[in-house]
Structure 1
């Protein structure tokens, strides 16, 4: 198990142990994750994939991690990172290799840069702001 996936496993334990403040959905199956990756044209890194499999979406206030999920009201629409990434591509020209994982009040988006995967398939995390010249990426 890689260090990043081990960190995801520790996060899972902490989120479950702190149900009074942390919240999560029921998880996300492999078929739904595959549909999300097809819709985005991107692969989730293993550590992010593990958290999405476990929770679908989750929050530890004040932060909400988008994940991948569906709701009865929205039917087959893939919400969370999928909806936010696709919307940002259209609305603010988010580059296709960036994956939105969290919305941020200050920098606009927290993204994974899938063009920079390491040997374990993990990606760096950046803040991305469409108002910043030279591509909008900022170290988080």
Structure 2
């Protein structure tokens, strides 16, 4: 991020209190790679990839935007399962999600494409084994 500030932007750091509140509101625990990035950047984008993260605005007041708002909206509006967390909106996949029901030994969750129009739970394809791997791949692809 910092080495590519001409094409990468980020918000403000997320405090431990905001992260704990976000986890409570979602009823999920964040994986280490996601937690590290939101602690450092809050929310960020690189070229054409916008990673939702967690942030607040003056206009929205106390509402947690980004992954929290998008996940809660997807649960309410299109029936996204409780164990999924939206980390990116995409024109092709619709949602890139973490599947918190499948932690690995490091507490990381795989990233899947999820679309409510797909039968059998909406999971379409596995995108990456972890959020960190997903972000790195997306950023490298956008910066080359």
TM-score calculated relative to the size of structure 2: 0.86
* Structure-2 separation of matches of 1:110 and 1:134: 17
Match of 2:92 among 106, 109, 113: 106
Number of equivalenced pairs: 126
Unaligned stretches of 5+ residues in structure 1: 1-14
Match of 1:26 among 7, 12, 16: 12
Shift of 1:73: 1.2
TM-score calculated relative to the size of structure 1: 0.88
Say which SS state the counterpart of residue 112 (structure 2) adopts: strand
Shift of 1:110: 0.1
> RMSD of aligned C-alpha atoms?
0.6
* Structure-2 separation of matches of 1:126 and 1:84: 16
Unaligned stretches of 5+ residues in structure 2: 128-144
Shift of 1:26: 1.3
Shift of 1:43: 0.7
Shift of 1:17: 0.9
Q: C-alpha deviations, 1:19-70, integer Å up to 9, x for none?
A: 1100000110000000000000001100010000000000002110000111
* Structure-1 separation of matches of 2:124 and 2:108: 18
Matched, 1:45 2:31: yes
Say which SS state the counterpart of residue 33 (structure 1) adopts: helix
Shift of 1:124: 0.3
* Structure-2 separation of matches of 1:44 and 1:61: 25
Q: Equivalent residues in 2 for 1:39-78 (5 A)?
A: 39-78=25-64
